[in-house]
Amino acid sequence: MNGAESLVATLVDRGVDICFANPGTSEMHFLAALENPRMRSVLCLFEGVATGAADGWYRMKDSPASTLLHLGPGLANGLANIHNAKRASSGMVNIIGEHSTSHLKYDPPLTSDIEGLARPLSHWVRRADSASAIAWDAAQAVARASEHPGQIATLILPGNTSWEEAGATIAPPVEHATRKTPDAARIEHVARVLRSGEPTLIILGNKATRGRALERAGRVAAATGARLGSQFFTARIERGAGRVPIERIPYAVAPARAFLKDFRHIVTVETKEPVAFFSYPDKPSLLKPEGTLVHPLVESDEDSALAFEMLLEALGAAATAPMLQPRVQTPAPSGALNPVSIAHALAAALPEDCIVVDESLTTGRETMGYTMGAAPHDLINNMGGSIGYATPVATGAALACPDRRVFCMVGDGSAMYTIQSLWTQAREGLNITTIVFANNSYAILKAEYANMGAGTPGERALAMIDLERPRIDWQAMAKSMGVPAVAVDTAEAFYRAMADSVREPGPRLIEVRL
């Protein structure tokens, strides 16, 4: 067994059985090792697709995928979506090919400071130094990536460590990631706050927006009258009919402050107090009112399901039933396409148990609330603000959950960053409906121009936020990568196209002409 075979065998032994890859010459032995039938390898035509897909995989599986990237430039191409994954607490194992140790001293063209590129966006970076130690390195990378919250682990693989004989390899014992028990004094303190009856918002983040944690949070809210909220962006929320509803703090500073103005207390769970996404010359950074007290209940590495169980115990409210979102039957809309009719069409068409990846920006920003009473689904947001996350994340989510359809809502500007995802979706036959909101502009930046107080944009500034001249041909784009596409320009046609997309397996693209 050579080093590359030892690496792949260790990854799959430790549960990392998918690799989103974009290979080069230095990774040929790793490619050979991917013949291991226990590892699924998925070719991505841009590294940002590979790293975003690994993020999507983690969001649905809660366990890391691996990526294979080609030296420093391959890693650099993947960094923006590693940033988004890191902000979403998604774990991943990045394998970065590298020149063999003996070749590096000649400074060949692809040489770069890979550690320097990796470090700011990785929690753990290691350069393999021998084939025989690779199993150890790989096992540690998986252990780090699997911690709670998930971590970015980056293993640099010099060519010689992959082609040399690994001999008898040893790996550390399997570590099962555990989440810490929340601090009992903090639970008592928050129980006192809730008993006071003063207006309280409990803000849920990361894994607290689903499963047992969410259900128990719903019991706490029902027992105390506290309200449940989320940041504007959350890694994954289980929402829709039958789930505990969570109110979303608005994106823009003024409505966010208006939403928060009457709360005396904010209790944070796996998240921090709400801050504005950007700073503006005349607006505050913090969104809570002066005098509102912030009480951290669950830190990011602690177990929120356990915390709510302890809290219910402290409140003597374990038997309280949670408040659940009723099903709201939305009739299929007709007429003009606008954010409201689009949200109504979504609410009517989303099938039970689907996954929604949202990068709709201006089109969906104010109106996702209309889908609260839709059939139960998972909603995934961009946590890092680096656009171009949705189509890759949808790709990884669809691979993680092949029986669930993924709806990927994406602005045309955002879609253009990582549109190569469509090719991987076609090749792998993934059940993804990509909805491109074709407004032919960076519409959000038009609004931000005014919000920043930059005045009225001149012709040259406008040319930097307009996507006209030429218009993007989405039908041709999708077709060229093997994805069937339709264009719609009414709400009824949009609804029909979504419903149709569910009937046949495989990817579809809907161009929503705005």
Ligand X SMILES: Cc1ncc(C[n+]2csc(CCOP(=O)(O)OP(=O)(O)O)c2C)c(N)n1
Sign of the dihedral defined by the CA atoms of residues 449, 450, 452, 457, in that order: positive
Binding residue for ligand X (CB under 6 A) from 362, 381, 418, 451? 362
Please, are residues 439 and 413 in contact by the beta-carbon 8 Å criterion?
no
Q: For residues 397-416, which are near ligand X according to CB under 6 A? A: 411-414
Please, are residues 92 and 18 in contact by the beta-carbon 8 Å criterion?
no
Of 80 and 228, the one with the shorter C-beta distance to ligand X is 80
Rounded to 10°, the helix 390-400/421-428 angle is 20
DSSP SS3 for 301: coil
- 81 lies in the site for ligand X, by CB under 6 A: no
- 386 lies in the site for ligand X, by CB under 6 A: yes
Q: 22-61 mask for ligand X (x: CB under 6 A)? A: ----------------------------------------
Of 330 and 386, the one with the shorter C-beta distance to ligand X is 386
What is the dihedral angle through the alpha carbons of 33, 36, 42, 47, rounded to the nearest 10 degrees? -30
Residue whose C-beta lies closest to ligand X: 411
- 231 lies in the site for ligand X, by CB under 6 A: no
Least gap, CB of 258 to ligand X (angstroms): 23
Per CB under 6 A, the segment of 29-37, 201-209, 357-365, 454-462 that binds ligand X is 357-365
* Dist CA 181 CA 301 (whole Å): 9
- 435 lies in the site for ligand X, by CB under 6 A: no
Least gap, CB of 81 to ligand X (angstroms): 9
Per CB under 6 A, the segment of 306-314, 361-369, 372-380, 493-501 that binds ligand X is 361-369
Of 169 and 363, the one with the shorter C-beta distance to ligand X is 363
- 80 lies in the site for ligand X, by CB under 6 A: yes
- 363 lies in the site for ligand X, by CB under 6 A: yes
Beta bridge partners of 359: 410
Per CB under 6 A, the segment of 9-17, 111-119, 162-170, 442-450 that binds ligand X is 442-450
- 444 lies in the site for ligand X, by CB under 6 A: yes
Sign of the dihedral defined by the CA atoms of residues 72, 77, 78, 83, in that order: positive
CA angle 254, 440, 236 (to 5 degrees): 55
Of 134 and 512, the one with the shorter C-beta distance to ligand X is 512
Per CB under 6 A, the segment of 113-121, 131-139, 191-199, 358-366 that binds ligand X is 358-366
- 204 lies in the site for ligand X, by CB under 6 A: no
* Dist CA 357 CA 348 (whole Å): 17
Beta bridge partners of 162: none
Least gap, CB of 467 to ligand X (angstroms): 7
Checking 491-494 for CB contacts under 8 A at 24+ apart, the result is: 491/332, 491/333, 491/334, 491/335, 491/336, 491/337, 491/341, 491/342, 491/344, 491/345, 492/332, 492/333, 492/334, 492/335, 494/337, 494/341, 494/342, 494/345
Least gap, CB of 360 to ligand X (angstroms): 7
Binding residue for ligand X (CB under 6 A) from 131, 443, 485, 491? 443
Of 202 and 510, the one with the shorter C-beta distance to ligand X is 510
Please, are residues 412 and 472 in contact by the beta-carbon 8 Å criterion?
yes
Per CB under 6 A, the segment of 29-37, 248-256, 441-449, 495-503 that binds ligand X is 441-449
Choose among 331, 371, 346, 375: nearest CA to 241: 375
DSSP SS3 for 342: helix
- 367 lies in the site for ligand X, by CB under 6 A: no
* Dist CA 255 CA 272 (whole Å): 19
Please, are residues 204 and 213 in contact by the beta-carbon 8 Å criterion?
yes
Per CB under 6 A, the segment of 91-99, 104-112, 299-307, 434-442 that binds ligand X is 434-442
Looking at residue 294, its amino acid is V
Please, are residues 241 and 327 in contact by the beta-carbon 8 Å criterion?
yes
Per CB under 6 A, the segment of 56-64, 97-105, 443-451, 501-509 that binds ligand X is 443-451
- 511 lies in the site for ligand X, by CB under 6 A: no
- 391 lies in the site for ligand X, by CB under 6 A: no
- Which residues are at the interface with ligand X (CB under 6 A)? 80, 361-363, 385-387, 411-414, 439, 441-445
